A and B are shown apart, each in its own frame.
Chain A
Amino acid sequence: MKKTVADNALQRIKEEIRTDAEVARARASQSVRRGSAPASLGQIAPPRERYEIDELSNAHFVDFIEHAYAALFRRTPDSAGFAEQVRLLETGRSKIEILGNLRFSGEGRAIGVRVPWLLPRYLLAKATRVPVLGYAIEWLMCVGGLPRLLHHQRAADAFHAARIHELKNEFRGIVDQLEMFREDLARLERERTGVNLQLEQVSDRFPRVHSEVASAFNEIRDLRHLVLSMNHWLASLRQNLATLEAAEGEQLRKRDPLYSEIFEQSRLADHARAPRLQQWASDFADMLPPKAEVLDIGSGLDWLQFLTARGLKVTGVNTSNDVGERARGVGIVIAVAEPSVVLARLADQAMDAVSILDFPALLRSLAAPTLLQNLRRVLRPDGKLMLGVGPESATIIDALEGRAAAPMSIELIELTLSVSGFVEIKRINAPGGMHCIFASLPR
Chain B
Amino acid sequence: MKAAVLIPVLTSKDAVGVDAIAMAQILEGLGIETRIFCQGSSGMKRKTWPVAELLAFAGGPKDLVIYHFSIGWPAAVEQLRRCRGFRVVKYHNITPARFFDGYSVEYRDACASGRDEVATVAKLGCELYLGASDYNLAELVEQGVPVERAGVLAPFHRVEEIVHAEADTGLIDALTDGARNFLMVGRIAPNKGHLDLIEVFSAYVRAYTEPARLLLVGKIDPRLQTYTDSIRQRIDEHDLNDHVQWINAASEAQLKAAYLSSHVFMILSEHEGFCVPLIESMALGVPIVAHASSAVPETLGDAGIAWEEKDSWLYAASAARIFSDDEARGNLLDCGRRRYQESFSNEVLKKRFIDFLEPVL
Contacts and interface: CB of A to CB of B under 8 A. Distances in A.
A74 to B, nearest CB: 6
Interface string B9-44: 000100000000000000000000000000000010
Nearest to A10: B302
Contacts of A271: none
Interface in A187-221: none
Contact of B321 (A13, A40, A75, A109): A13
B318 A6 contact: no
A28 B43 contact: no
Interface in A290-349: none
A35 B212 contact: yes
Interface residues of A, number: 37
B333 to A, nearest CB: 13
B313 A21 contact: yes
B317 A44 contact: no
B203 A46 contact: no
B250 A20 contact: no
A44 B171 contact: yes
Given A10-B305, A46-B251, A106-B45, A27 B174 contact: no
A431 interface: no
Contacts of B305: 10, 13-14, 17
Interface in A241-271: none
Given A20-B320, A39-B177, A112-B43, A25 B211 contact: no
B167 to A, nearest CB: 10
A36 B211 contact: yes
A106 B46 CA distance: 11
Contacts of A7: 302
A34 interface: yes
A225 interface: no
Contacts of B328: 13
Nearest to A44: B247
A9 B329 CA distance: 12
Contacts of A14: 305, 307
Given A21-B317, A46-B248, A76 B166 contact: yes
Contacts of B311: 21
A41 to B, nearest CB: 5
Interface string A40-52: 1100101100000
B242 interface: yes
Interface in B287-339: 302, 305, 307, 311, 313-314, 316-318, 320-321, 325, 328, 331, 335
B162 interface: no
Nearest to A32: B206
A16 B317 CA distance: 9
B253 interface: yes
Contacts of B242: 37-38, 40
A22 interface: yes
Nearest to A12: B328
Interface in B229-274: 242-243, 245-254
Contacts of B344: none
B175 A74 contact: no
A38 B313 contact: no
Contacts of B203: 24-25, 28
A28 B205 CA distance: 9
B166 to A, nearest CB: 5
Given A21-B314, A76-B166, A35 B210 contact: yes
Contacts of B178: 38
Given A10-B302, A20-B317, A44 B245 contact: yes
B321 A24 contact: no
A16 B324 CA distance: 13
B45 A44 contact: no
Contacts of B314: 17-18, 21
B316 A21 contact: yes
A33 interface: yes
A19 to B, nearest CB: 8
Given A39-B179, A44-B254, A24 B208 contact: yes
A38 B213 contact: yes
A6 B335 CA distance: 9
Interface in B74-119: none
Contacts of B246: 44
B45 A36 contact: no
A18 B302 CA distance: 18
Contacts of B165: 75
B45 A24 contact: no
B204 interface: yes
Given A17-B318, A20-B321, A41 B207 contact: no
Given A9-B331, A16-B321, A44-B254, A35 B211 contact: yes
Given A13-B325, A35-B210, A106-B45, 19 more contacts: A6-B335, A10-B302, A17-B318, A17-B321, A21-B317, A25-B203, A34-B205, A35-B204, A35-B205, A36-B211, A38-B179, A38-B213, A38-B242, A38-B243, A41-B174, A41-B175, A44-B246, A44-B254, A46-B249
Interface of A: 3, 6-7, 9-10, 13-14, 16-18, 20-25, 27-28, 33-41, 44, 46-47, 74-76, 106, 109-110, 112
Top 10 A-B residue pairs of the complex, sorted by shortest distance between their CB atoms: A38-B179, A37-B242, A24-B207, A21-B317, A21-B313, A20-B317, A28-B206, A38-B213, A46-B249, A28-B207
26 contacts: A6-B331, A10-B305, A13-B305, A14-B307, A17-B318, A20-B320, A20-B321, A21-B313, A21-B317, A24-B203, A24-B316, A25-B207, A27-B207, A33-B209, A34-B205, A35-B208, A35-B210, A36-B211, A38-B177, A38-B178, A40-B242, A46-B249, A46-B250, A46-B251, A75-B165, A75-B253
